[in-house]
Amino acid sequence: MSGYFEDLAARLRAAGVPEQRVAATVDDLRAYLGDSGTDPEEEFGPAAEFAGMLTTGAEPPAAEPAPGERWVWTADIFADRRRLNEFGEQGWEVETVDHLGRFVCTRAPDRPQRWEYRREVVAPADRERVGERLAPDGWEPCGTWFFYAYYKRPKAALVGPAAELDAPPPRPAGRVFFSGRFYLFVAVYLLVLVPLVIGLRHVFPGSSLGWDLETVVGMIVGLAAGLAGTTVVILVAERRHRRRQGR
């Protein structure tokens, strides 16, 4: 197992991932495997492919976007499902999720139909199995970002012709939809971090700690590592839930 993670860490460093984030990612993945008891290559796939997924953030689209109106937007993980279904009701179809985690959408120029969406937290090695489980209900994959896999299905599969929109609303003016919970998360993070930095400056008055570039970069990396850790925790919780249900 250690050889797999050494290889993964080396590939992440070679891709330019900061050392702090490499260490946090490897530690989280080791903890996840300690819970599941599976082989890392069986769970995540070959180290080279898994490193590529973690550094690019999303798989390339399987096909060219459909013709029609195009719109790219993003939301945090607290609001993405609600926003996806809100915009799906307006006829927006997600074609893929890009490397920044943005939803790349199109809407048919004539009589677009409504769409609905769902999100699963899935390890890369489990995506095919989860896709096969959801396919009988009409769900098809429409993008991934780290451990998040998104699925769509046309409302026509449930309500027939009533899913068509005769007069769709105008395209939303915004492109970024962050929820109050996201801003609260950031605020709590900063409330913890700022006193820590100030305290360190008092303990080490001659150091370079402060609101310089080094500190800002550290804050960003720490936030990214925290979000990655949160994702792994959600992944483990959902895996246990499926096991209890006998899936």
Residue with tokens 């008092």: 202
> What gap in Å lies between CA 17 and CA 12, rounded to an integer?
6
5 in helix, strand or coil? Answer: helix
Strands 140-145 and 103-107: unpaired
Query: Phi and psi (nearest 5°) for 190?
Result: -70, -35
Q: Which helix (H) or strand (E) holds 7?
A: helix 2-14
pLDDT score at 85? 97
pTM (predicted TM-score) = 0.56
Exposure string over 209-247, b if 16+ CB within 10 A, otherwise e = beeeeebeeebebeebbeebeebbeebbeebeeeeeeee
pLDDT score at 64? 47
- How would you classify residue 237: left for phi > 0, otherwise alpha for psi between -120 and 50, otherwise beta? alpha
195 in helix, strand or coil? Answer: helix
pLDDT score at 235? 52
Strands 115-121 and 140-145: unpaired
pLDDT score at 66? 46
pLDDT tens digit at each of 247 positions of the chain: 568 888 888 888 888 877 877 777 777 677 766 655 677 887 777 888 878 777 764 444 444 444 568 999 999 888 999 999 999 999 999 999 988 789 999 998 888 999 999 999 888 888 999 999 999 999 999 999 888 999 999 998 788 888 899 889 999 988 889 888 777 877 776 777 667 666 656 665 655 544 454 555 455 555 555 555 555 555 555 555 555 555 4
Extents of the domains making up the chain: 2-56, 69-177, 180-244
pLDDT score at 73? 94
